[in-house]
Amino acid sequence: MKFESFGFENVTADLNWLDELMPEHGLIRAEQWDYERVSFDRKFELKEGVFYLRVLGYATEGDVGAHKAVIQLMTPLLGKHYYPHGIEYGEGEHFPPTLVKQCEKILGSIKAKLDEFTGL
């Protein structure tokens, strides 16, 4: 499921600042990066299964590994994890409405901070 209404794809921000902001909202970068891309994830374990809220981005300047990069954010995603295959984001997936609302609230809070930081 894509969260297109928040406008994340219009935001670029310093990686170090994102590394401080995202954990405040439960999204962790951990090992989900390479030298050009990052992924901030939040895991939700519900009776309906395991879900991940994911905010992706890629470096427009610098190097992620050196912690000196400007990151262009992408549209946030909500996916359901299927062991051992991975995460599915497809239209055919069912996402609990309470989880969707919780994710929207989290993304709204992040977007407000991003707008404040970037001056949008």
Domain that includes residue 82, residue range: 4-118
Residue 101 confidence (pLDDT): 97
Which uninterrupted H or E stretch holds 112? helix 97-118
- Res 18 pLDDT > 60: yes
15 close to 70: Cβ distance less than 8 angstroms: yes
Task: Note the pTM of the prediction, 2 decimals.
Answer: 0.90
Per-residue pLDDT reduced to its tens digit, 81-108: 988 888 888 878 889 999 999 999 999 9
pLDDT tens, 23-59?
Answer: 999 999 977 678 899 999 999 999 999 999 999 999 9
Q: Cβ distance 27 to 103 under 8 Å?
A: no
Domain count of the chain? 1
Half-sphere exposure of 119 (CA within 13 A, CB side): 0
What integer pLDDT is reported at residue 57 of this predicted model?
A: 95
What is the rounded CA–CA span in Å between residue 36 and residue 70? Answer: 10
d(CA 50, CA 73): 24
Confidence of residue 119 (pLDDT cuts 50, 70, 90): low
Ramachandran category for residue 62: left, alpha or beta (phi over 0 → left; psi -120 to 50 → alpha):
left
Find the CATH number of the domain harbouring 44: 3.30.310.100
Cα angle 91-114-35, degrees, rounded to a multiple of 5? 75
